[in-house]
Each structure stands twice: as C-alpha cells, then as structure tokens.
C-alpha cells in the first residue's frame, strides 16, 4: 500500500511539473514573439503577444511593462503618421527618458523621435529649440502694442491685396482662407487670456508658422510699473492647421494649447 501511495504522489508531482513547464513555454514564446515584433516595428502584433504572455502568467511585471511601452510606441507612431510632430516627439521622448525601458523599445522610440525631428526640419512645423528671451524689463515706449501692430499688419495686407500673410497663398478661384499675421496674433492673444491693449507683441513669419512673443503692456495699468513688460510666453501659430503651441520652459518644447 505504501508503494502505491508513493507512486501516486510521484505521478502527481510529475504532472504538475509538466503543466508548469508548458505554461512557461507558452509565456516565453509569447514574450519572444512580442519583442521580435517590436524590433520589426509591428506594434499591433507585439501588443497581442504581450497580452498572450499575461494570459499565461497573470500580473507578470515584465509583460505588463512591455505591453504599456508598446502601447506608447503605437501612440507615438500614430501621432507621427497624422503629422502631429509635437505629439510624436513628446510620446517618444517620454519612453526614452524612462530609467528601465526595454532596449528594443528604446531603439524604436529613438527612431520615431528622429523621424519626427527630421520632418520638423523639413517643414518647420514644430521645434524644440528655446528662443532667446528678451530682457525682462523694457521701456514702455520701445515695444509695439498688439493693437497697433495688428492694425499695421492689416493695413499691409490690404495694401498688398491680402498677400502678406502666408505660405500657401490661395490660388485664383480657391476657397481656402489664408491666415493673416493680424489674425494669427489675435488668436494667440485670445488663447493666452489677454486682450490686445494688455500686451506687447513681437512676431516673426517663419514660413509654416508665426513665432509670437507676448509681453504684458502696463501703460494703461496704474497699479503696475509702466516701464516694465514681463514675459507672458513664446507661442507658435501653425498656418495650415490653426493650432497654437506655447513653449514649455521645463521641457524646452512647444506644446499645443488649443
């Protein structure tokens, strides 16, 4: 009887070991498949593989982390494909900055970010270069208020038949509206939460977008020093999309505000 019980116990142990080995084999295969898919840039297939690994080994930290990283790669790739270069750079950059990101994911994130930066240089649609800020204190008479500059811009546009405002001017018969500098400035001032008489504005036409610096105008503010013009921020108005981005001083990149 004792020999029979021993045989039964040994059989049970062997069966459990076989089951565990089978589960580990399935998990390892899924993880390998997922990492190969990441390396190949097939993020949908990779995500499916990591989900399979989690089904075999629930709450596994490595599979959970890789699934989240793969989803982030998918998000960065999607932003790049639709022309959202800021979104692509931000999403890829967050992965690159993670202290324990998988090497295969890191390589893909760097590739996506490099592609976005290359497109940025080609189109001028985004940038992560911090402009040189002007002095924090300036004479009230040295700046041009937004109202005056916007008016001058509008007058210039009228004098030139509306051609002053931008790249991609509408062709005869086209219904596409060409955004003028005055319109871009007005939109940025509104997005910043100010009115034209409250700001000084310095605008540069950079082709695909207007670079706009806003400063506070204290000329009509009795409670503030009229000879100072504290910085409000650096903005970009993208002509093709109407999107407005503001420079984030901490990350040194432009981020959409609308």
166-206 pLDDT, tens per residue? 333 334 444 456 789 999 999 999 999 999 999 989 999 98
* pLDDT the model gives residue 250: 85
Domain count, the chain: 2
Indicate whether 238 pLDDT > 60: yes
On whether both 114 and 161 belong to a single domain, the answer is no
* pLDDT the model gives residue 3: 52
pTM: 0.45
Letter string b/e over residues 46-55, b meaning 16 or more CB atoms within 10 A of that residue's CB: bbbbbebbbe
In sequence order, what are the residues at sequence separation of 6 or more whose Cβ sits closer than 8 angstroms to the Cβ of residue 187?
Answer: 237, 242, 244
**Secondary structure letter of residue 197 according to DSSP:** G
Identify whether 172 is part of a domain. no
- Specify which of 6-10, 91-95, 150-154, 197-201 reaches the highest per-range mean pLDDT: 197-201
* pLDDT the model gives residue 190: 94
Identify whether 69 is part of a domain. yes
On whether both 41 and 74 belong to a single domain, the answer is yes
Distance CA 246, CA 188 (A): 9
Distance CA 181, CA 244 (A): 13
Distance CA 245, CA 51 (A): 36
Q: What is the pLDDT of residues 18-38, one digit of tens each?
A: 555 455 788 999 999 999 999
* pLDDT the model gives residue 213: 92
Which residue range is the domain that position 198 belongs to? 146-167+177-256
* pLDDT the model gives residue 177: 63
* pLDDT the model gives residue 124: 55
* pLDDT the model gives residue 241: 85
On whether both 30 and 83 belong to a single domain, the answer is yes
Token match 């700046």: residue?
Answer: 143
* pLDDT the model gives residue 167: 36
More confident residue, 138 or 86: 86
Q: By 3-state DSSP, what share of the chain in percent is helix, strand and coil, each rounded to 5?
A: 55, 15, 35
Query: What is the pLDDT averaged over residues 226-232?
Result: 81
Phi, psi of 67 (to 5 degrees): -65, -45
Indicate whether 108 pLDDT > 80: yes
On whether both 102 and 154 belong to a single domain, the answer is no
The percentage of the chain sitting over the pLDDT mark of 90, rounded to a whole number, equals 33
On whether both 7 and 118 belong to a single domain, the answer is yes
Query: What is the pLDDT averaged over residues 205-229?
Result: 80
Distance CA 167, CA 123 (A): 11
Distance CA 141, CA 148 (A): 12
- Average pLDDT over all residues of the chain: 75
More confident residue, 175 or 219: 219
On whether both 106 and 190 belong to a single domain, the answer is no
Distance CA 66, CA 19 (A): 25
More confident residue, 6 or 221: 221
Q: If you write DSSP's letter for every residue of 20-48 in order, what string do you get?
A: HHHHHHHHHHHHHHHHHHHHHT-HHHHHH
Rg (CA), the chain: 29
Indicate whether 249 pLDDT > 80: yes
On whether both 115 and 155 belong to a single domain, the answer is no
More confident residue, 82 or 6: 82
* pLDDT the model gives residue 12: 52
Distance CA 12, CA 6 (A): 10
Indicate whether 163 pLDDT > 80: no
Q: What is the pLDDT of residues 109-133, one digit of tens each?
A: 989 988 888 887 776 544 444 344 4
Indicate whether 69 pLDDT > 90: yes
What CATH number does the domain containing 234 carry?
A: 3.10.450
């Amino acid at each position: 009887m004792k020999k029979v019980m021993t045989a039964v116990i040994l059989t049970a142990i062997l069966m459990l070991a076989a089951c565990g080995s089978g589960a580990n084999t399935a998990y390892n295969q899924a993880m390998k498949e997922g990492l190969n898919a990441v390396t190949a840039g097939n993020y949908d297939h990779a995500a499916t593989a990591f989900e399979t690994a989690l089904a075999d080994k629930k709450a596994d930290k490595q599979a959970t982390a890789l699934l989240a990283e793969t989803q982030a790669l998918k998000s960065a790739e999607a932003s790049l494909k639709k022309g959202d270069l800021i979104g692509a750079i931000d999403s890829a950059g967050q992965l690159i900055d993670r202290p324990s990101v998988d090497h295969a994911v890191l390589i893909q994130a760097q590739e996506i970010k490099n592609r976005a930066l290359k497109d940025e240089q080609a189109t001028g649609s985004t940038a992560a270069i911090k402009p040189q800020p002007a002095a924090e204190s300036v004479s009230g008479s040295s700046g041009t208020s937004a109202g005056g500059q916007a008016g001058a811009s509008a007058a210039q546009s009228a004098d030139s038949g509306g051609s002053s405002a931008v790249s991609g001017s509408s062709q005869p018969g086209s219904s596409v509206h060409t955004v003028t500098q005055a319109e871009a400035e007005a939109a940025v001032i509104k997005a910043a939460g100010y009115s034209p008489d409250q700001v000084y504005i310095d605008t540069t036409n950079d082709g695909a977008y207007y670079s706009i610096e806003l400063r506070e105008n204290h000329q009509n503010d009795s409670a503030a020093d009229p000879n100072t013009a504290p910085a409000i921020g650096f903005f970009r108005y993208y002509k093709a999309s109407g999107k407005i981005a503001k420079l984030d001083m901490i990350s040194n990149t432009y981020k959409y505000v609308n």
